[in-house]
Amino acid sequence: MAATGGVPRAIRRVLKGRACAAAISLLGPQRFLNTSFKASDLQIELSRHPKPKPDPGKLIFGKHFTDHMLTVEWTQENGWSKPQIKPFQSISIHPASSALHYSVQLFEGMKAFRGPDKHVRLFRPMLNIERMLRTALRACLPPFDKAELLECIRQLIHVDRDWVPYSDAASLYIRPTFIGTEPSLGVAKSTHALLFVILGPVGPYFTTGSFNPVSLLADPRFVRAWVGGVGDCKLGGNYGPTIYVQSEATKAGCQQVLWLYGDDHQLTEVGTMNIFMFWKDQQGDLELVTPPLNGIILPGVTRQSLLDLARKWGEFKVSEKVITMTDFIRGLEENRVKEVFGSGTACVVCPVNKIFYQGKHYHIPTMENGPEIARRFLKELTDIQYGRVASDWAQPV
């Protein structure tokens, strides 16, 4: 940025004539911070020791990582540094860093897919970047230019493009992460931060497979999020406390947790997924329903995609509304519930066949009904993701 006496050209254009010299004198030498990093400034250091690629058919979710990573540092004093793509490595941070003590941290989850044409595509990536920015502002971490971050991620994937599996049952998982690295104790805004992105090839999220049904523990003693909280943000602090409840579900013979909320036991989410139910409403009309974005639900990209597809089909009602366990059980008893499934980046669509609630097992006829809708969603989404069907949702790398 060209400047005279530390004052940017843009300001000097606004200040004309004698006022300009007076204003520059008043402002004096200034340091103007980098309010966002730029992909054009990327510095790339390639790994000298590339790792062997794992067998796409034997991938375990989250256990393999590519050769490179993206990092961008920020300080309150200097703003954003230049982004760097460098060999995958451990991160060194101060022991008092705010991410470690006060959970000033957030992350995203995205995927890249290799189609039968060998091209690599991202699925609706800007929705993830927009959600990441909203979460960053909620955590009092600095803003960034969304398009610049997405372009940096594209270039990282391009560097590690050989890691995108040649398989329609696997993909490249993308984990953008943003942490406060404030090197001092005290609950306050971070003056230091680090944004980084790591990649890894993945197969099915659940060990049961890519489309096998799961059972759920619904225990109203445990709450994932609440009104006025941060349930609609992808903060690390939302996930750590769920591990204990997941272990309780396992003890009860269930694979995931159905998170309830309020005295009326509203259905909110399934594990780390959004929840959908396909049923006949009390008027006898077919309806796809999912809880509304009321502050306790994470606005999932897959969730939005399923809603968009269903509304495009126009074959049944599509509703975002509160569902209580009383509503749900009545629907089961009246044989109106046809399918229940979760949705998310990691699993795409996951059918549910059983819920354990207040000492009783409730069977859900999801698999007996096909599941027609869940399978249709899975096929249409994956056809777009892998480039088998053309769509502006699939963005080339």
11 band by pLDDT with thresholds 50, 70 and 90: very low
Question: 156, 199 in Cβ contact below 8 A?
Answer: yes
pLDDT confidence of residue 334: 98
The mean of the pLDDT values for the chain is 92
Q: Is 195 helix (H, G, I), strand (E, B) or coil?
A: strand
24-47: average pLDDT: 74
Task: Say yes or no to pLDDT of 362 above 60.
Answer: yes
265-279: average pLDDT: 97
pLDDT confidence of residue 174: 98
Q: What is the pLDDT of residues 179-209, one digit of tens each?
A: 999 999 999 999 999 999 999 999 987 766 6
pLDDT confidence of residue 209: 62
* CA gap 396, 119 in Å, rounded: 7
pLDDT confidence of residue 255: 94
What contacts 271, CB < 8 A, 6 or more positions away? 242, 246, 256, 257, 342
Q: Pick the closest to residue 158 from 112, 108, 91, 107 (CA basis).
A: 112
**What does the CA dihedral 233, 349, 264, 286 come to, rounded to 10 degrees?**
130
Per-residue burial over 288-311, b if 16 or more Cβ lie within 10 Å, else e, is bbbbebeebbbebbbbebbbebbe
Alpha-carbon separation of residue 262 from 19, 166, 296, 325 (angstroms): 61, 45, 11, 11
Task: Say yes or no to pLDDT of 307 above 70.
Answer: yes
pLDDT confidence of residue 207: 65
Q: What is the pLDDT of residues 63-75, one digit of tens each?
A: 999 999 999 999 9
Which amino acid, 270? V
Task: Say yes or no to pLDDT of 101 above 80.
Answer: yes
222-232: average pLDDT: 97
pLDDT confidence of residue 12: 39
Task: Say yes or no to pLDDT of 152 above 90.
Answer: yes
pLDDT confidence of residue 326: 98
Longest Cα–Cα distance in the chain:
82
Task: Say yes or no to pLDDT of 361 above 50.
Answer: yes
288-293: average pLDDT: 98
What's the distance, CA 265 to chain centroid?
26
Question: 132, 178 in Cβ contact below 8 A?
Answer: yes
Whole-structure pTM value: 0.90
pLDDT confidence of residue 173: 97
pLDDT confidence of residue 204: 81
Q: Pick the closest to residue 58 from 211, 170, 173, 212 (CA basis).
A: 170
Task: Say yes or no to pLDDT of 159 above 90.
Answer: yes
